[in-house]
A = this chain, B = another copy of it.
Amino acid sequence: MTHAAEVAARYIAVWNERDPSRRKALLAESWTEDAEYVDPMMGGKGAGEIGALIGAVHERFPGFRFALSGGADGYGDRVRFSWSLGPESDPDMIIGTDFVLLEGQRIKAVVGFLDKVPV
């Protein structure tokens, strides 16, 4: 895996983790303590807030899974990739693109955009 692909895979894994304590462990591993996340719907700072945001998405969309959509690419401390979110019957219901700033090997900031949302 390239570095960008690895960052994206770890990112998707955090978003798919429904267990709060396992999610906390994954966030501690791959995100900085003061990481910031923002997208058009929500935002948070720090592993606690970001873990809670992800938990809220699982509560709102039970059974939905995130998947990497296409490849990830990056250079320097920047990575971008697109993802899909949906239930098994419609895995591309929602599509988005995320832009990541790294600090060392860990995610320091994410800015998300939505490419496709259900009408």
Contact = CB atoms under 8 A, between A and B. Distances in A.
A97 B80 CA distance: 10
Interface of A: 38, 40, 73, 75-76, 78, 80, 97, 99, 111, 113
Contacts of A111: 78, 99
Given A38-B76, A73-B113, A80-B99, 8 more contacts: A38-B78, A40-B75, A78-B111, A78-B113, A80-B97, A80-B113, A99-B99, A99-B111
Copies of this subunit: 2
A111 B79 CA distance: 10
Nearest to A78: B111
Contacts of A113: 73, 78, 80
A3 B33 CA distance: 33
A101 to B, nearest CB: 8
Contacts of A40: 75
A59 B78 CA distance: 27
A51 to B, nearest CB: 22
